[in-house]
A and B are shown apart, each in its own frame.
Chain A
Amino acid sequence: MEKFSQLTAIAAPIMRINIDTDAIIPSREMKRVSKIGLSDGLFAGWRYLKPGSREENPEFILNQEPYRQAQILLSGANFGCGSSREHAVWALSEWGIRCIIAPSFGAIFSGNCVRNGILPIELDNEIVEDLAAQIKTDPEGNKISIDLPRLSVTAPDGTSYPFSIPPADHEMLLQGLDSIAITQKRDPDILAFQQRDRQSRPWLY
């Protein structure tokens, strides 16, 4: 997994609430048993003019310059709600998104982000709205900076906002660690747990 430290990048605001994973990647775009080749289907329902087509909708922000280079997404509350499909995160990642800033996230989705090296940042709605407004005045020049070690987001106007994420997620993103390898180090604990549990809940074994 790619490590995450600092990032200064163009941000694309898609300021809708409740953007669900079906919108991030429609089912019809998940054609193969694979984690790659999904970026084409990202936001397909909005990005292309007709279902299944690849004719770009010029109105959609990610089809516009300089947002095509965006590495940060801004959005309304409850981003990534709905289906658990990790394809949503794989598609965002492959397209080039490294960080999403929203007032809140779908629970499964934000876990999926961290496991794939995307940083989900929760900030108050007013702050996200303000960031979006600043970006719109000069999307190219008004970049957003993220400092993961210091847990801060810096707006184009220089204001910094702190954010928090669980320490385990922080560690995983900073070091690009694989969550399974970390847990496997605890295998003796898991074994001991199973032995005790077998005594107290034998019907499950």
Chain B
Amino acid sequence: MNRTIIEKIWDTHCVADLGDGSYLIYIDRIFLHERTGSIALKGLEEAGRVVRNPEHVFCTMDHIVDTFPGRTDRTTMPGGTEFITTTREAALAAGINLFDLGDDRQGIVHVVSPEQGIALPGVTLVCPDSHTCTLGGLGALAWGIGSTDGEHALATKTLVVKKPRTMRVSFDGALPYGVTAKDLILHLIGRHTASGGVGFAIEFCGQTIRELPVEARLTLCNMAVEFGAWTGIVAPDDTTFEYVRGRPYAPAGDQWELAVRHWQSLRSDPEARFDREIRIDSRDIVPQVTWGTSPQHETGIDGRVPDPADEPDANKRQSVERALDYMALEPGTPLEGIPIDAAFIGSCTNSRLSDLRSAAQVLEGRHVAPGIKAICVPGSSRVKRAAEDEGLDRIFTRAGFEWRESGCSMCFFAGGESFGDRERVVTSTNRNFENRQGPRTRSHLASPTTVAASAVRGCLTDVRTLEN
């Protein structure tokens, strides 16, 4: 039987067939964070249940903690401290692995788990967080769940899952200058809508993907959920194995050889059938930026704000009108040149060392435009330290960026720090929903290089037009 990589991992983890397309699937690793993990642990405890394999459960503090230097359990978000202390107490009581504040393993959950070798090729990994699909970049089958399913996974080490349909998205050709993994995924969502992937597990493949480093593959898979997909995955290869080797929780010694042999089998058979196929020529892609309040509201940086009048479908027309109203944009305005108030580099999409390096390359010897609030938040404590070791922090601060402690920070508005009313932000994050980065804040998603270039010019900018 010819199988896709998704089916292979699925079959390896199948405990029972429950009929009608639902299966009891074994879960290798569970990750929690203080925002939703706290309630899953508390719910479990209140029901008198215990964590079945605490050694396979990890927890970090990322969502609610402040990212100001010198932070403590006190938070800008009212009531935030309770999330931190409840999580800490529950994690300690349950005996799970905790990466607490001050621990150098702390960071954004989806940045930490590959970095520590907890997410591995071929594992099933869940977290009560929708961007868990990020870890597909390593060849893991990883997806976000709700808190009740979180309790289910903690108590039984399994989940009842409906078998997804499969989709293959191939990106062919080399990436043009100035185009990144972020632009690939935004382009896909823009062409095929934010619900184009609903019900699917997606394998990303093709020459472009093979040539991407692991960190870029993580960026790509991060936004599979913005495409509506259940998850995304890239088949592991030598690039992946090199990335994983030597990480704290990765297999070592004899186990390493054994693991790699297994991982090498994790690729779709040549004749495997997918329920849907999409092919994209990467050479046609330019740096992307969103203009609206859904990730599908995007276009090339050389594009224009669309005119709702051109949209024949009434529902879609209204959605575009609403978006333009919220974003305060006029139809037909060129994206390039729209003035911004702030720039943000961070989040589980784009806050790894390679992201910071690419932004720093743009910022080296430059300064952000007057009046721009610019913030860089490394994805993990380890990324932060590595960046400081190579002097990136000084490039950022000299350019006028704030340099923060790691965490989700202003990727989303938790009730504390925000960009402010009607402020326009160019951001390396993954969601441009209404109020996502603060009440009435207007978010434009883009790659870290586009964010850096825009910060320098003070307006949405085509990074390809900045002089070297």
Contacts and interface: CB of A to CB of B under 8 A. Distances in A.
Interface in A86-137: 86, 89, 104, 106-109, 111-112, 115-116
A18 B147 CA distance: 22
A14 B129 CA distance: 26
Given A111-B145, A202-B258, A33 B434 contact: no
A15 B146 contact: no
Nearest to A51: B439
A204 B27 CA distance: 11
Nearest to B144: A84
Interface in A32-53: 32-35, 45, 51-52
Interface string B121-138: 011000011100000000
Contacts of A35: 39, 43, 147
Nearest to A183: B156
Contacts of A20: 433
A17 B316 contact: yes
B16 A33 contact: no
A51 B158 CA distance: 40
A197 B26 contact: yes
A189 interface: yes
B242 interface: no
Given A81-B228, A187-B156, A166 B148 contact: no
B161 to A, nearest CB: 9
A83 interface: yes
Contacts of A26: 413, 435
A32 B413 CA distance: 15
Contact of A108 (B130, B319, B414): B130
A141 to B, nearest CB: 26
Which size class do B's interface residues fall under?
A: 35 or more
A95 B360 CA distance: 48
Interface in A8-26: 15-18, 20, 22-23, 26
A49 B120 CA distance: 47
B21 interface: yes
Interface in A147-199: 166-168, 179-180, 183-184, 186-187, 189-190, 193-194, 197
B157 A190 contact: yes
A151 B122 CA distance: 38
B319 A17 contact: yes
A23 B198 contact: no
Contact of B160 (A81, A168, A194): A168
Contacts of B82: 32-33
Given A18-B195, A28-B413, A83-B130, A179 B433 contact: no
A76 interface: yes
A33 B435 contact: no
B71 interface: no
Interface string B33-48: 0011011001100010
A2 B12 CA distance: 35
A78 B47 contact: no
B435 A180 contact: no
Nearest to B84: A33
A53 to B, nearest CB: 11
B39 A34 contact: yes
Contacts of B259: 201, 203
A16 B319 contact: yes
A129 to B, nearest CB: 9
Contacts of A64: none
B19 interface: yes
B247 interface: no
Interface string B229-240: 010000000000
A49 B37 CA distance: 32
A168 B228 contact: no
Contacts of A204: 28, 120, 123
Contacts of A23: 433-434
B69 interface: no
A186 B146 contact: no
Contacts of A33: 38-39, 42, 82-83, 86
Contacts of B35: 30
A76 B83 contact: no
B160 to A, nearest CB: 6
A77 B130 contact: no
Contact of A104 (B20, B123, B198): B198
Interface of A: 15-18, 20, 22-23, 26-28, 30-35, 45, 51-52, 76-78, 81-86, 89, 104, 106-109, 111-112, 115-116, 166-168, 179-180, 183-184, 186-187, 189-190, 193-194, 197, 200-204
- Per CB-CB distance, the 6 closest pairs between chain A and chain B, nearest first, are A203-B251, A51-B439, A28-B415, A112-B146, A86-B146, A203-B255
Given A116-B148, A166-B20, A197-B26, 16 more contacts: A22-B435, A23-B433, A31-B415, A45-B434, A52-B439, A76-B315, A81-B194, A84-B129, A84-B144, A84-B145, A107-B230, A115-B149, A189-B16, A190-B157, A193-B26, A203-B255
